[in-house]
Amino acid sequence: EAGVAQSPRYKIIEKRQSVAFWCNPISGHATLYWYQQILGQGPKLLIQFQNNGVVDDSQLPKDRFSAERLKGVDSTLKIQPAKLEDSAMYLCASSRTGDDRRFGQGTRLTVV
């Protein structure tokens, strides 16, 4: 079974620029998650989708972050404008039942 695909693997941008990350979940996984992992910390959930719909976006900084999951498959996470404190690893995960969550390799974002 193919894993969760994410791109790009690395991104360096200047503050106030915008950036987008892409995620393709495992086939058949209805639930998709985006996590932010700051260096030295555990991942923190930003947003959770169930098919097309948002289940939980309570930790998403909505003034600058947005996410969409069109057609209930791929998802895009955008930051606009980026701040220095957004430097982190952004992890996408997908699951069928919740306990079978699988993570992608992540996108390492550096904001300078």
Partner 1 sequence: GNSVTQMEGPVTLSEEAFLTINCTYTATGYPSLFWYVQYPGEGLQLLLKATKADDKGSNKGFEATYRKETTSFHLEKGSVQVSDSAVYFCALSDQTGANNLFFGTGTRLTVIP
Which of 17-25, 63-71, 77-85, 103-111 is the region at the interface with partner 1 (rule: CB under 8 A)?
Answer: 103-111
Per the omega criterion (within 30 degrees of 0), is the bond before 8 cis? yes
Identify the three-state secondary structure at position 71.
helix
Is residue 1 within 8 A of residue 96, CB to CB? The reply is no
CA distance 102 to 41: 19
Candidate segments 14-22, 39-47, 60-68, 71-79, binder of partner 1 by CB under 8 A:
39-47
Q: Site for partner 1 (CB under 8 A): which residue of 2, 28, 42, 71? A: 42
What is the three-class DSSP state of 85? helix
Stretch that binds partner 1, among 19-27, 69-77, 80-88, 98-106 (CB under 8 A): 98-106
Site for partner 1, rule CB under 8 A? 4, 6, 31, 33, 40-45, 48, 55-56, 91, 93, 95, 98-99, 101-106, 108
